[in-house]
Chains A and B, each alone.
Chain A
Amino acid sequence: MRAKRNHHKIVFTGPVGAGKTTAIASISDIEPVRTDASASDMTIKRKNNTTVAMDYGMLRLPGGEKVMLYGTPGQERFDFMWEILTEGGIGLVLLLDNTRVQPLQDMRFFLDAFRDFVARTQVVIGITHSDEKATPSLSEYHSALRAHGIERPVPIFEADARSFDDVSLLVRSLLHSLDPGLEDADA
């Protein structure tokens, strides 16, 4: 799973139902490979099909380069795969479902789970379903980040995982966070 030459990867993570698979589909150049299966145990309450292995899509770049878009399994018992998926990754897109019972706790959980990866790269956070439930607000997420000991600025946006614009903006802000000197391609 290590990034091959000319193959790079961006990892999408988050709890079940946050929209990882949809977000990948929104920007992928290929029909995403979905290794979905019928949900079992508690996940079935939120979603009929959930990702138990992983999903992946792809951005094709000029010259044959590819950026793989990997979605992590949403169920905690598959968390052994997360370390595999992050090896050589550019950064992390964390999607959080605002309608879940404790989205701030979800955020802390995933940031802890990906602590090493985030420390050496960067994370951006997309809050999904905020149109259905407006709280926690973005300010509360930022405050919770600081209270969790993350002092560096993290982009946190409301996001519709179905929207190319929203998901694209998450990825673009990830890149700019990693390299603020990076010029926009259309500058």
Chain B
Amino acid sequence: MRAQPKVEPFRVGIARMSESSAATVGMAIERFARDQFAIVSSKLAQVLIVDADRIIGRETLQGLSAEHPGIPLVVLSSSEIQTDNGLVLKKPVSIQGVLEAVRNIRARAAVAADPAPTQPIDSGAGKIEDAGQPTPAARAPEQARKPAAVEHATPARKPRISREDDCCGDAEDILVQGRPDKFDRARTHFDDRSGLLGAFRAAVDHGRVHGKAVTVTGLSDALYVDAGTAGQPARVITRLDDGALRAACAPDAGTTLQFYTIAAVPQSSKDWRRIGLESMLWNLSLWSSQGRLPNAIDAHARVRLTRWPNFTRCAVTPQALRIAALWVTRFLTPIEVAKVLGVPQRYVLALCAAADAAGLLERQAIAAAESADTLAPAALPAAPAPTRGLFRRILGKLLHAR
């Protein structure tokens, strides 16, 4: 193979262009044509790319030419203009179009400089796909090198709110996979058909069956449930805050709750909260669970999350993201999840209860469960990912940055 003589990059200047557009052009050249072009200051340029819309009229365009005599222009413009000194590209322009125009100018310059050029003129065809990795901003415009210059003090954040207790009770790990439970079931399970959670779920079911809005009464203020008519997702409307709802979920809350169908939920005003039904069910179950499973869930049976819960609108318990990340990928028993992740069982049981209420829990088919019963769950890779250290540092940053 014959060695190609080294060709100096064609020097490209950018003038009368916004920082963002200049950065875009600079990055495109870095990406697609860095072996052909180099971004330089206007004084050193062999061609200038100009945004005509940022100068006033053709007089200034001519003035720019006068300022840089003999330097051809690639003019980007949203209007029909002409120039005797280069090429005009009508906006919107593609970056390929800009590069092609610069190549054209370079070819003209090469012919003018040497009527019988010894260097082949690169048509540019195929260059975009062949483009290599861009290098750091050695030839990028100023904007691309700017971050260090604009760094300043970290903006004030809202003060870190002290962490709410974890809603998961204080039970110790007493469940053992594959062994019968020989303790009071109330230590690991709760009745999700009683209390506020039970009444609320009954009201929702009633509203759905009859296609009507319902209201739950007996608390310090009403809960209105719009069961999702007219194609809208089901929503709960209330003036009660989370503290009041959580208190009402306590076993000793002593409230007598009733529900009624109503013609429509009242028109909400700004002191009313609108809560997605899934989030409401999640939270009520979590607050009722106190780290226990609903009676209908067997801690030794494999289940999984059908999808990620809406964690920005649901109460997030300790380790919830870890638990969800694992549990959306495979069927595992709550005991297995706790063991694999090394987290207290009550965290897993609480999340399981909330997911069940929100309709996000799927039971494994019996046949599959039986065949897998003796298999140890290969839930996680044996070795941690090489990125784990970095990820932990990012997590630490985000968790403690507020």
Contact = CB atoms under 8 A, between A and B. Distances in A.
Interface stretch (A12-20, A111-119, A163-171): A163-171
Interface residues of A, number: 77
B233 interface: yes
B19 A35 contact: yes
A181 B143 contact: no
B257 interface: no
A63 B393 CA distance: 10
Interface of A: 1-2, 4, 8, 27-31, 33, 35-37, 40-41, 51-54, 56, 58-63, 65, 67-68, 73, 77-78, 80-81, 84, 87, 90, 126, 131, 134-135, 137-139, 142, 152-160, 163-166, 168-173, 175-187
A184 B321 contact: yes
Contacts, number: 212
Nearest to A137: B233
Interface in B44-80: 78
12 contacts: A28-B155, A29-B154, A53-B19, A61-B393, A126-B312, A168-B398, A171-B398, A173-B321, A178-B387, A183-B322, A185-B396, A186-B400
A160 B397 CA distance: 20
A172 B321 contact: yes
B233 A185 contact: no
A172 B27 contact: no
Given A84-B134, A169-B316, A185 B400 contact: yes
B385 interface: yes
A171 B394 contact: yes
Contacts of B276: 158
Nearest to A25: B155
Interface centre among B23, B78, B152 (most CB of A within 10 A): B23
A30 B19 CA distance: 19
B308 A65 contact: no
B391 A2 contact: no
B141 to A, nearest CB: 10
Contacts of B311: 155, 157, 169, 173
B147 A184 contact: no
A57 to B, nearest CB: 9
Given A153-B329, A157-B311, A172-B321, A184 B395 contact: yes
Interface in B138-182: 143, 146-147, 150-152, 154-155, 157-158
B231 interface: yes
Nearest to A179: B385
B321 A1 contact: no
Contacts of B28: 80-81
Contact of B146 (A33, A37, A134, A181): A33
- Chain B residues touching A, range: 35 or more
A53 B17 CA distance: 12
B325 interface: yes
Interface of B: 18-21, 23-24, 27-28, 30-32, 78, 91-92, 94-95, 133-134, 136, 143, 146-147, 150-152, 154-155, 157-158, 231-233, 235, 274, 276, 278, 305, 307-308, 310-313, 316, 318-319, 321-322, 324-326, 328-329, 341-343, 379-381, 384-385, 387-388, 390-402
A181 B321 contact: no
Given A33-B150, A52-B20, A156-B308, A178 B391 contact: yes
A67 to B, nearest CB: 6
Given A30-B151, A160-B312, 5 more contacts: A31-B150, A169-B312, A176-B321, A181-B388, A184-B318
Contacts of A157: 308, 310-313
B325 A53 contact: no
Given A2-B133, A172-B395, A53 B20 contact: yes
B394 A176 contact: no
Nearest to A156: B308
Nearest to A146: B307
A60 B313 CA distance: 27
B115 to A, nearest CB: 35
A114 to B, nearest CB: 17
Given A53-B21, A81-B24, A8 B321 contact: no
A183 B27 CA distance: 37
Contacts of B341: 180-181
A175 B391 contact: yes
Given A36-B20, A138-B310, A159-B312, A180 B384 contact: no
B391 A37 contact: no
A185 B400 CA distance: 9
B387 A2 contact: no
A166 B92 contact: no
